[in-house]
Amino acid sequence: MAATLPVPIEFSLPDGWTSADPDEVNAGEVAFIAFSRAAAGDRFAANITINSEVCTEFDGLVSVADGLVEKLGAAAGEIKRGKRDESTTSNGPVLAQVVRFPLSLPSGERVSVVQYQVLMALQSSNSGRSSVVLHFTLSALPDRFVQLLPDFRAFIETVRFETGR
C-alpha cells in the first residue's frame, strides 16, 4: 500500500514525466512516483519519488541523510556518496546529496544507479524536536542522470506545502 505524506504538498511535474500509482508499479513504500518518458526504453526506468518520515528526536538533516545512505547501503551492498549541500529556505532547512549504488535488474543484469536526494525539514511549531522530513529523489542510470537533473531541479522549485503555522 502506498505511503501517505503527513503534510499536504503541491507540485508540478515537468513535461515528459508521467505519474503512476505506487502500488501498481511495486513501489508501495513511496507516496508518489513518476517516470520519465524520455527514458522509457532504458533498462532502468528513471523516476522521481516522494516520501517522508516523522522524526520525533530531530537532530538535523545530516543525520537523516546519513540514515538514508546507511539503509540504501544495507540493501545495495555498496554505495558511494558524492556531493552534499545544505541550505536554508523560507520553509526551513534543505539538504541535497548524490549517491550511486549497484542494482540488480529482474533480468539479472547489474547496473549502476545514481540518485539525487533532496530532504526538506518542516519543524513542528508545537513540539520542540519533532520534525517532518520530506524526501524527494531522482533515480536514473548515469547516462540519463545528467539529462534529467534539470527536470528534477525544476520539479523541486514547484514544491509548496502547508505547515499549519
Measure the CA–CA gap between 131 and 83, rounded to whole angstroms.
24
pLDDT digit string (tens) for 51-86? 998 887 777 888 889 988 888 877 777 889 888 999
Q: Would you say residue 3 lies in a domain? A: no
Which residue range is the domain that position 20 belongs to?
A: 9-161
pLDDT digit string (tens) for 34-56? 999 888 777 889 999 999 988 87
Q: Would you say residue 1 lies in a domain? A: no
Task: Write down the pTM of the prediction.
Answer: 0.89
Alpha-carbon distances, residue 69 vs 34, 72, 94, 150 (angstroms): 22, 5, 16, 23
The count of structural domains within the chain is 1
Q: Would you say residue 25 lies in a domain? A: yes
In this structure, what are the phi and psi dihedrals at residue 117, rounded to the nearest 5 degrees? -105, 130
Q: Would you say residue 35 lies in a domain? A: yes
Q: Would you say residue 84 lies in a domain? A: yes
CATH of the domain at 62: 3.40.1000.10
Cα 138 to chain center, whole Å?
6
User: Which residues, including other chains, have CB under 8 Å from residue 35's CB and lie 6 or more apart?
Assistant: 17, 18, 20, 25, 45, 46, 47
